[in-house]
Amino acid sequence: MTDESMQLFERVRAMCGDPFFQKVIRGHCSFLADNVAAADLNLHIHPNDQMLWHSLKHHRDANAAFSQYYNVALQQYNAASQILRSLFPGPLERIRVLDFACGYGRLLRFLSLSLPPQQIWASEIQADALAFVCDNFRVTGIPSHVDPQAFQPDRRFHLIWVASLFSHLPARLFEAWLRRLVDCLEPDGVLCFSAHDACLLPKGTELPAEGILFKPFSENAALDTTTYGTTYVCEDFVDGVIAKVCGAGHGHFRIPRGLAHEQDLYMVPAAPDRDLSGLQSFRRGPWGWVDERELRQPGELYLRGWAASIDDGPLETVDIEVNGAHYRCPTGQRRQDVAAVFEDPRLDTAGWEFRHILAPGDARLRIIVSARTSNDESALLYAGELQRPAPPAGRGDQPVSTSRGILQRLGDLLARLRRAGSSR
């Protein structure tokens, strides 16, 4: 681990403890009851949380990693909450939920605020992760195991939530864990798990005829790559495994891109005739990203990104806050890449671009970018702090002529070429 990586992690940890960023996250938690105190929202992240390290490695930017980590966490909570309330529309006092393969609690930090922690169990094969979620989110822990048959909880559950485990299992464990977890359900219980659909395969990679491709690598270097890698499946494969485990004709339900607008969600009930029709109203919510974030000379903030509702299509605007001032930035910029990734031509105009001239005293900028739908669904696209670059010595905040700057650079280039030629 490099010094730069540790500095980035420490920056994220500082953001998690900063009242400003705590307020940002709480502002995107529309599900929190009024009686939930601000102090109850625990944003502490474990130093070994692979999901954060994965974002840090990809972005090399603490602001972007913080934003992505919590954006995905909030969407996962929204998905799990919708499914829970759709399956169990009455009072939830009797409902027991198991977050299986819970990691370091990206879901549990929010779930434990909307459901009494005594109704939530967590299971994880990483001992430090299990201890962390039990200590921080007051849930009950159950150690997991490499061998599915060795997983022996002392109770059954109404909802078993499994995010990003089946998307990492080889075929034999895919079937074995499906069988074991279905056996842990109450008679009216439902197993919900996520999977990488074949549409997410890297370009040029084909799915084998059996409908599953397992690659022995993942973002979690601490786990055995023979049992935990990266897995892609087609719907027919999952249907076949469910039929093999639960019996032919056993009802189940699939939500394409239901988790973080990437992985599919599958609901498998204990009862073969369980009514799952309420899940047809599931909403993925808004989504997007801020691709470019730059403080330019002379004193301009530039942001560029995209935003859309995967359910409804492009959004008209994104909400941007700069040091407390609020702006509505229209979409409409061409983003053929977004439309291609989601295979949805409606998203071709989901792009947006924002320019803002800074006041002379704005040395530090705190920025929030959010996407909201007409249904008051929200997504945090970006939250961060940028430091204004110091102006060149002796120039103050005076703008530099673009044409003069280009000519000067061309002159410097020609001089270097002449020197290089004369040295041969």
68-86 confidence digits (pLDDT tens): 999 999 999 999 999 999 9
pLDDT at 259: 97
Q: Once rounded to an integer, what is the mean pLDDT over residues 99-104?
A: 97
pLDDT of residue 226: 81
- Does residue 281 carry a pLDDT above 90? yes
Report the chain's mean pLDDT, rounded to a whole number.
90
Residues 225 and 173 in one domain: yes
pLDDT at residue 419 greater than cutoff 50 = no
Query: Are 45 and 114 members of one domain?
Result: yes
What secondary structure does DSSP assign to 292-322, as a single string? EEEEETTTEEEEEEEEEETTTEE-SEEEEEE
Q: Where is 265: in which H helix or E strand? A: strand 263-269
209 vs 201: CA distance, rounded Å? 14
Domain boundary residue, one of 281, 307, 337: 281
pLDDT at 161 over 90: yes
Which of 172-176, 297-301, 382-386 is the least confident region?
Answer: 297-301
Per-residue model confidence as pLDDT tens digits over 168-188 = 999 999 999 999 999 999 999
Looking at residue 86, its pLDDT comes to: 96
Using alpha carbons, select from 237, 255, 247, 254 the residue that is nearest to residue 272: 247
DSSP tag of 291:
E
The pLDDT assigned to 322 comes to: 96
Do 329 and 343 lie in one domain? The reply is yes
Whether residue 407 lies inside any domain: the answer is no
Q: Is residue 417 part of a domain?
A: no
Q: Is residue 274 part of a domain?
A: yes
Given a cut of 50, is residue 306 above it in pLDDT?
yes
What is the tally of structural domains in the chain?
2
| R_g (Cα) of the chain, nearest Å | 24
Residue 420 lies in a domain: no
| CATH number reported for the structural domain that contains residue 189 in this entry | 3.40.50.150
What confidence score (pLDDT) does residue 339 get? 96
Residue 414 lies in a domain: no
Q: What is the mean pLDDT of residues 256-278?
A: 96
Q: Between these two residues, 398 and 110, which has the higher pLDDT value?
A: 110
Mean pLDDT of 90-107: 95
Percent of the chain with pLDDT over 90: 79
Same domain, 205 and 63: yes
pLDDT of 149 strictly over 90: yes
The torsion angles phi and psi of 387, rounded to 5 degrees, stand at -100, 130
pLDDT on residue 220 = 66
* Same domain? 298 vs 272: no
The answer to which of 1-10, 57-66, 222-231, 314-323 has the lowest mean pLDDT is: 222-231
pLDDT surpassing 60 at residue 407? no
Task: Give percent above pLDDT 70 in the chain.
Answer: 89
The domain that holds 348 is classified in CATH as 2.60.40.10
Is 397 contained in some domain?
A: no
Whether residue 304 sits in one domain with residue 262: no
Could you tell me the CA-to-CA distances from 169 to 45, 122, 132, 237, 263 in Å, in that order?
26, 19, 24, 13, 14
Q: Of 281, 310, 340, which closes a domain?
A: 281
Element (H, E) at 10: helix 3-16
Per-residue pLDDT reduced to its tens digit, 12-28 = 999 999 999 999 999 99
Q: Residue 33: what pLDDT?
A: 61
Q: Specify whether 251 is located in the same domain as 305.
A: no
User: Is the backbone peptide bond immediately before 314 cis, with ω within 30 degrees of 0?
Assistant: no
Tell me which residue range forms the domain holding 341.
286-390
Same domain, 54 and 107: yes
- Helix residue spans in 60-190 (DSSP H): 62-87, 108-114, 127-137, 171-182
Residues 213 and 74 in one domain: yes
**Judgement on whether residues 64 and 154 belong to the same structural domain of the protein:** yes
pLDDT for the residue numbered 399:
42
Question: Residue 118: inside a domain, yes or no?
Answer: yes
Do 331 and 270 fall within a single domain? no
User: pTM of the prediction?
Assistant: 0.89
Higher pLDDT pick, 17 / 423: 17
Residues 48, 129: contact at Cβ < 8 Å?
yes
Distance CA 216, CA 237 (A): 19
Same domain, 33 and 48: yes
**Residue 16 located in a structural domain:** yes
- The residue among 216, 251, 281 that closes a domain is 281
Cα-to-chain-centroid distance, residue 239: 26
